[in-house]
Amino acid sequence: MPEVRLHPNTDVLLEFAAGSLSPAQAVAVSAHLFYCPHCQAKSGTLDAIGGNLLADSEAVSVSVDCRSDVMAQLDTVGTASPEKLEINDAAPQGVRWKNLPPLVNRLFRESGISWRHLSSSLRVARLPVGERRFELALHQIKAGGSAPAHDHRGLEITVVLHGSFSDDEGVYHQGDYITREPGHVHTPIATANTECVCLSVLEAPIRLVGRFSRLFNPFLSFMPV
Amino acid sequence: MITASKMSFDANDANDANKVVMLAEARSDNWSQLLMKVGADRDKAAFALLFDHFAPLLKGFLMKGSALGPERAEELAQETMIKVWRKADSFNASKASASTWIYTIARNCRIDWLRREAKSSRDIEAEDIYEFGDENPSFNSLVQIRNRDKIRENLAFLPPEQLEVLAKIYFEGKTHSEVSLELDLPLGTVKSRIRLALNRLQVRMTAAEAKQDA
């Protein structure tokens, strides 16, 4: 696999390790980590900072009941079974792209796939993660097709899951984590010979620009649930 | 005090990936060994020792900064330790020390608890988000993994204002902006303290960030 070139910045990985990223952003980081050994290692180091802070914390004694509760439960709670997870990680029916992050497959499996066409070459499927600030979706652009030019009122994060696309700033490949700040206008175009599938995190509904903008619904035509 | 590893290497010797692998495999702190015993043999006596050490640390960790009251912190510590018991067979000492592994479980319990509190309509579990496949380290990554064993000593040398910011982020799960509001500091100052702290802890910045700093 070619090396991933675009990474989340260190502040984002730090918030991921500390557990303070919003769920939709955390899913995007998790998808990037699936493809990027470099950030996996960095994320492991940031976890280790947490582990060392825990090891050096001030101990506060727990109640006797707490201890006896836990010890009494050991026989009944059983163990977590990793086999079950593997089955859930397989791509659900109707998803033909190989090498998607297990988490994306799981979200797909749980929400079902419900594509909406936004234009002849672009369609979108929501992935509900139960949060209000950001929405999470998959975008699919047909080979050689383009997404309408759009700008952002909020942050947009894109992780390429399959194929590649380009815009006026570069070409993006599998695993790349692309951050677009509010106000940025761009027109993503899928590479000619293969369709492109991306995971997107959007902070606010996107406004389309250009002469056909009125014909389109907003890029994602719904508010976060 | 228990050190993460008894082996140490010359800081400049960053080129020997084999040593890094050896180091990880030789991770031999007592807590990690106990945890492996729990995983392999469902050893309750070993688990009781882990509980007596980690449950109070978890409670203290979760209470710090009054983010959670003592009762809530104890409940979460309890939930974390039960997960430790259930998942012990997936603990891999070559990837993380016992305290790091237990930290990640506590973090995930806290995330799920906060979301339950917020009554989010539909949730994926934190555990699903944080399982993104096995660490498959490239050479560069191995150097980073080796650096983890120095984190503890390096933490001891951080200036208090840098440690304070890190503590807010890890102990209280605060975002950078929340830390900036709470400490009444500009966001840029918070970010630069984090940057300095992470540099000292040898977390590598991305090429783009390094360029910004230059």
Query: Are the beta carbons of A41 and B144 closer than 8 angstroms?
Result: yes
Domains of chain A: residue spans and CATH = 1-87+101-225 (2.60.120.10)
pLDDT level of residue A172 (50, 70, 90 thresholds)? very high
Q: CA of B11 to nearest chain A CA: how many angstroms apart? A: 17
Question: For B149, which residue in chain A has the nearest alpha carbon?
Answer: A48
Reduced to 3 states (helix: H, G, I; strand: E, B; else coil), residue B194 is helix
Compute the mean pLDDT over every residue in chain A, rounded to the nearest whole number: 81
ipTM over 0.95: no
Average pLDDT for A31-38: 92
Backbone angles phi, psi at A122, to 5 degrees: -130, 130
Q: Does A107 touch chain B (CB under 8 A)?
A: yes
Q: Are B108 and B126 in contact (CB under 8 A)?
A: yes
Whole-number pLDDT of residue B2: 39
Sign of the CA dihedral running B117, B118, B119, B122:
negative
pLDDT digits (tens, 9 = 90+) for A113-137: 788 888 888 888 888 887 777 889 9
CA within 13 Å, CB half, A176:
20
Residue B2 placed within a domain: no
pLDDT in tens, A84-100: 445 455 666 666 788 88
Is B96–A49 a contact, with Cβ atoms under 8 angstroms apart? no
Tell me, yes or no, whether B31 lies in a domain: yes
Question: Based on the domain organization, do B193 and B174 belong to the same domain?
Answer: yes
Sheet of strand A150-151: strand arrangement: A185-186, A150-151, A207-208
Task: Please tell me the distance in Å from B182's CA to the nearest CA on chain A.
Answer: 15
Cross-strand bridge partners of residue A119: A122
pLDDT at B7: 35
Domain match, B64 and B130 both: yes
For residues B108 and B163, state if they share a domain. no
Pairwise CB contact (< 8 Å): B73 & A26: no
Rounded CA separation B105/B58 (Å): 11
Is position B38 within any domain? yes
CATH classification at residue B185: 1.10.10.10
- Residue whose structure tokens are 């947009």: A156
Query: What pLDDT is recorded for position B31?
Result: 92
Distances (CA, A) of A191 to A164, A178, A185: 6, 16, 19
Cα(A185)–Cα(A207) distance, integer angstroms: 10
Choose the closest CB to A74 out of B47, B123, B194. Answer: B47
Selected for mutation to probe chain A from B23, B66, B90, B100 (highest A CB count within 10 Å) is B100
Angle between helices B139-147 and B17-25 (to 10 degrees): 50
Query: Are residues B206 and A10, on separate chains, in Cβ contact within 8 Å?
Result: yes
Per-residue pLDDT tens for A182-207?
777 777 888 878 889 999 998 865 55
Q: Are residues B160 and B212 in the same domain?
A: yes
- Please answer yes or no on whether A38 and B140 come within 8 Å at the CB atom: yes
214 residues of chain B, pLDDT tens digit each: 433 333 333 333 444 444 444 444 444 578 999 999 999 999 999 999 999 999 999 999 998 866 678 999 999 999 999 999 999 999 988 788 999 999 999 999 998 988 888 776 556 788 889 987 765 656 656 776 677 778 888 898 999 999 999 988 998 888 899 999 999 999 999 999 999 999 988 887 777 777 766 5
Q: How far off is chain A from B64, nearest CA to CA, in Å?
A: 9
Q: Which of A17, A23, A34 sits opposite B132 (nearest CB)?
A: A34
- Does B9 fall in a domain? no
> What's the domain count of chain B?
2
Domain boundary among B92, B121, B136: B136
Q: Domain for residue B10, yes or no?
A: no
Q: Which domain holds residue B209?
A: 138-214
Cβ <8 Å between A7 and B47: no
We report the CATH number of the domain holding residue B84 as 1.10.1740.10
A175, A159 contact by CB (below 8 A):
yes
Is B5 inside a domain boundary?
Answer: no
